[in-house]
């Protein structure tokens, strides 16, 4: 086994207060901490926990292809691991939820013979379940990255809840200052209209990012979604439409009829 190691941790969505005990310990004990904490407060707090903290935020360049940014981040993490010592890569939310660089850095570190692990964190979806008060026991929940959902025409059931991540970035491959792509949103609404009525109430959700702040839940009719207040961290929650019917044959097989 090579000498360096990599631990990827999540810091939660709500600044400082949602980090797990094990993630905090990994940060404190690391020989080098790398972060892409987009929030300056979070970056400052990480630096207080561990003075070796280096922010990779400068790798985000306006107008650059997002994939190239993610590749550069992965490279920087691996470079640090190869130098030896315990490297901790700290990301907001859950570090394994929609984060290309964390999975890729782990995969490549292991290939190169380094010890590498991921610790879970509190994701935006975890906050959503709490703030919206939704329990997937009532019909389940489908969760997709919005571009992936559209491009691959993912098969889904409108009678179960639907969560679309990054829906404000539909059709946007570059890192921009724009809060959302108007064209992409229109395409998304037109597509969803095939499955839901125009007045179906959907929720534009934003989890609170600071301890005393409140989450934002804006319910709008689906057709009015482009007029809602959107940000780069908005997530779309589409409540179920229609009622599923129990399959009598399955009930019989299960002995539940
Ligand atoms: C690159 S992903 C990162 C997700 C993150 N790793 C997590 O565990 O939540 C960015 C997307 O996460 C969602 N997101 C991030 N912060 C959020 C927040 N404060 N409230 C709601 N959704 C959020 C949005 O859908 C956003 O487009």
Could you read off the pLDDT of 159-195 as tens digits, one per residue? Answer: 999 999 999 989 877 777 665 678 999 999 999 999 9
Instruction: Give, for ligand 1, the residue of 10, 148, 165 to mutate: max count of ligand atoms closer than 8 Å to Cβ.
Output: 165
Q: Read off the pTM.
A: 0.95
Whether 195 is catalytic is no
Of 14, 70, 196, 205, which one is the catalytic site residue? 70
- pLDDT for 179: 57
Residue 97 falls inside a structural domain: yes
Residue 209 near ligand 1, beta carbon < 6 Å: yes
Residue 166 near ligand 1, beta carbon < 6 Å: yes
Cα(85) to centroid(ligand 1), Å: 30
- pLDDT for 2: 72
Residue 76 falls inside a structural domain: yes
Are residues 35 and 105 part of one domain?
yes
Residue 200 near ligand 1, beta carbon < 6 Å: no
For 119, the 3-state DSSP assignment is coil
Whether 175 is catalytic is no
Q: Which of 82, 102, 118 is the last residue of a domain?
A: 118
Which residue puts its alpha carbon closest to atom 1 of ligand 1? 98
Average pLDDT for the chain: 94
Whether 66 is catalytic is yes
Residue numbers of the chain with a pLDDT score lower than 70: 1, 177-180
User: Percentage of the chain with pLDDT > 90?
Assistant: 86
pLDDT by residue (tens digit) across 62-91? 888 889 999 999 999 999 999 999 999 999
Residue 257 falls inside a structural domain: no
State the closest ligand 1 atom to the C-alpha of 122, by its place in the atom list counted from 1: 8
Q: Which of 97, 118, 139 is the last residue of a domain?
A: 118
- pLDDT for 174: 73
State the closest ligand 1 atom to the C-alpha of 206, by its place in the atom list counted from 1: 20
Residue 245 falls inside a structural domain: no
Give the dihedral of Cα atoms 228, 231, 233, 237; nearest 10 deg: 10
Q: Which of 118, 152, 176 is the last residue of a domain?
A: 118
Residue 224 falls inside a structural domain: yes
115-150: burial string, b at 16+ Cβ within 10 Å, e else: ebebbebbbbbbbbeebbebeeeeeebbbbbbbebb
Domain count, the chain: 2
State the closest ligand 1 atom to the C-alpha of 209, by its place in the atom list counted from 1: 19
- Give the H/E segment covering residue 142: strand 141-145
What is the domain range of residue 155? 124-238
Q: Give whole-number Cα distances, 238 to 115, 123, 142, 202, in Å.
A: 40, 18, 10, 5
Are residues 129 and 111 part of one domain?
no
Residue 74 falls inside a structural domain: yes
For residue 26, what is the domain's CATH number? 3.40.1010.10
């Amino acid at each position: 086994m090579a000498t360096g190691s990599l631990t990827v941790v999540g810091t939660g969505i709500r600044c400082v207060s949602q980090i797990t005990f094990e993630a905090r310990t990994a940060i404190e004990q690391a020989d080098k901490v790398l972060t892409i904490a987009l929030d300056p407060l979070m970056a400052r707090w990480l630096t207080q926990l561990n003075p070796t903290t280096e922010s990779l935020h400068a790798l985000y360049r306006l107008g650059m292809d997002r994939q190239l940014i993610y590749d550069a981040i992965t490279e920087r993490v691996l470079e640090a691991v190869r130098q030896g010592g315990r490297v901790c890569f700290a990301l907001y939310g859950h570090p394994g939820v929609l984060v290309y660089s964390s999975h890729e850095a782990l995969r490549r570190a292991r290939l190169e013979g380094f010890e590498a692990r991921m610790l879970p964190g509190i994701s935006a979806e975890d906050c959503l379940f709490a703030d919206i008060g939704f329990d997937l026991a009532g019909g389940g929940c489908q969760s997709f990255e919005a571009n992936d959902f559209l491009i691959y025409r993912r098969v889904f059931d409108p009678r179960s809840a639907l969560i679309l991540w990054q829906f404000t970035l539909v059709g946007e491959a570059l890192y921009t200052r724009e809060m959302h792509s108007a064209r992409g949103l229109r395409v998304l609404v037109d597509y969803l209209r095939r499955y839901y009525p125009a007045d179906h109430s959907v929720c534009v959700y934003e989890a609170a990012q600071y301890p005393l702040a409140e989450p934002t839940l804006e319910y709008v009719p689906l057709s009015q979604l482009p007029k809602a207040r959107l940000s780069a961290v908005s997530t779309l929650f589409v409540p179920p439409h229609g009622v599923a019917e129990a399959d009598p044959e399955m009930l019989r097989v299960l002995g539940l009829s």
